[in-house]
Amino acid sequence: MSAKIIIAGGFGVGKTTLVRSVSEIPPLNTEAWLTEAGEGIDDLTLSETKHTTTVTMDFGRISLYPDLILYLFGTPGQPRFWFLWDDLSRGALGAIVLVDSRRLEQSFTALNYFEHDSTVPFIVAVNRFEGKLWHDVGDVREALGLRPEVPLVTCDARDSASTGQVLRDLVVHTLALARSADRPDTGSSG
């Protein structure tokens, strides 16, 4: 069995790094050099070493289990490319919204998209930049205004074991949602 997974989030949160870290095939990256055209638009405040950006998508593949292959599609993070998200999300089993807790404002568009504009189930993963959890997970949940039923996990996008676990968390979440949707209502109408 195979499934499509979306990796979404704001500019510079680690989507390309996540796909690269876990893909069993050489990932396809549609990277372009950052240019003067992005000055004043792309926030490089905490990404001084970032020299390229995704302009269409990242693509990778992982055999998560012997009977489950995941095709990973990383979205571009800049607002000028958000029009691609509908096409990339079509037919997806689920999505990971990757966030940088140092720049939560970069996360709101992706969260809004999956909460309101999409039917794709999602989880939120806080990327531990430099291996650190910069803020308490409960504080991040509150700051993002996440509903209690939306899983919030942490990961290091550079580490394949960590990103593999986030993918497993997403699959478990989507399967649980599917099972609960299939259960008949057992409440009495009294």
What is the pTM for the complete model shown? 0.83
Which residues partner with 5 through β-bridges? 72, 94
User: For residues 15 and 60, is the Cβ–Cβ distance under 8 A?
Assistant: no
Higher confidence at residue 88 or residue 37? 88
Residue 69: domain span: 2-182
User: For residues 109 and 75, is the Cβ–Cβ distance under 8 A?
Assistant: no
Note whether residue 188 is domain-resident.
no
Note whether residue 178 is domain-resident.
yes
Note whether residue 190 is domain-resident.
no
Note whether residue 29 is domain-resident.
yes
Note whether residue 187 is domain-resident.
no
Angle at 123 between CA 15 and CA 53, to 5 degrees: 15
Query: What pLDDT, in 10s, does the model give residues 95-105?
Result: 999 999 998 99
Q: What is the CATH number of the domain that holds 169?
A: 3.40.50.300
Note whether residue 155 is domain-resident.
yes
The overall average pLDDT reported for the chain is: 85
Question: Structurally, how many domains does the chain consist of?
Answer: 1
Most confident range (mean pLDDT) of 3-17, 81-95, 104-118, 160-174 is 160-174
Note whether residue 189 is domain-resident.
no
